[in-house]
């Protein structure tokens, strides 16, 4: 029987080998463990947040301040059992183009950027803060281990993803009926 440590060491990354995750724009989805409705319920197309859902909202909205302006989350939606975010990581070089400004992402080799300003550290920060809050307040809670990200390559993709995020609560209601 393999230990968790062995499983983690052998786990394959789902990250693009050709992309640095310390700059660019990303569509991120993070789910709760077993898709349990920890964050609230959708009523009449609007999420009614639980205490932990409200805390998650605060963490998302404070991410820009915590990261000293190197990160923007211009759009997000909290669903009962997952969240969708657009995460923009602004490179230190302020004149560097964003992913949605170019037709395709560059084919640069995979290099780890600053660990405080890459996508994994941003998501880890949000997940850890919410988990800590839940434990301190004796709220049953858990995240799915991984998250899904998609590198946004151009403005057409950005527009499509924004529409998906905005429409997600309404689609949830339609799928439940």
123: in domain? yes
Does residue 1 lie within any of the structural domains?
Answer: no
Residue 3 domain-assigned (yes or no):
no
Average the pLDDT over 42-53 and give the result.
93
Evaluate whether residue 88 is within a structural domain: yes
pLDDT digits (tens, 9 = 90+) for 2-17: 444 445 445 444 445 4
The string of pLDDT tens digits covering residues 52-79 is 999 999 999 999 888 777 889 999 999 9
| pLDDT band at 91; cut points 50, 70, 90 | confident
Tell me, yes or no, whether 9 lies in a domain.
no
Tokens describing residue 116 = 């405080």
Q: Quick check: 103 pLDDT over 60?
A: no
| 5 is a domain residue | no
Q: Give the mean model confidence (pLDDT) for residues 122-149.
A: 96
Query: Quick check: 133 and 52 in contact, CB under 8 A?
Result: yes
CB 53 within 8 A of CB 43: no
Could you tell me the CATH number of the domain that includes residue 72?
Answer: 3.30.70.1290
Mean pLDDT for 156-162 is 96
- Stated pTM of the model: 0.76
Mean pLDDT of all residues in 95-108:
45
Tell me which of 105 and 74 has the higher pLDDT.
74
Tokens of 152: 């946004």
Distance of alpha carbon 54 from alpha carbon 47, whole angstroms? 11
Task: For residue 13, give every residue at least 6 positions away whose Cβ sits within 8 Å of its Cβ, in sequence order, or none.
Answer: none
In a domain, 37, yes or no: yes
153: containing domain: 14-176
Instruction: Give the count of domains, the chain.
Output: 1
Take residue 171 and report the two structure tokens written for it.
Answer: 């689609």
pLDDT averaged over the chain? 80
In a domain? residue 125: yes
């Amino acid at each position: 029987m393999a230990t968790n440590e062995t499983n983690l060491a052998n786990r394959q990354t789902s990250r693009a080998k050709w992309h640095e995750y310390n700059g660019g724009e990303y569509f991120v989805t993070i789910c709760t463990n077993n898709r349990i409705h920890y964050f609230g319920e959708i009523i009449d197309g609007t999420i009614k947040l639980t205490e932990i859902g409200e805390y998650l909202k605060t963490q998302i909205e404070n991410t820009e301040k915590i990261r000293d302006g190197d990160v923007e989350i211009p759009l997000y939606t909290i669903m009962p059992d997952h969240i969708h975010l657009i995460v923009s990581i602004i490179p230190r070089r302020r004149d560097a183009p964003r992913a949605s400004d170019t037709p395709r992402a560059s084919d640069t080799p995979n290099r780890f950027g600053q660990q405080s300003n890459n996508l994994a550290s941003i998501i880890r920060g949000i997940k850890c803060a919410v988990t800590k809050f839940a434990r301190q307040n004796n709220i049953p809670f858990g995240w799915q281990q991984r998250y899904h990200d998609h590198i946004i390559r151009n403005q057409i993709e950005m527009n499509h993803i924004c529409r998906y995020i905005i429409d997600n609560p309404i689609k949830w209601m339609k799928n439940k009926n």
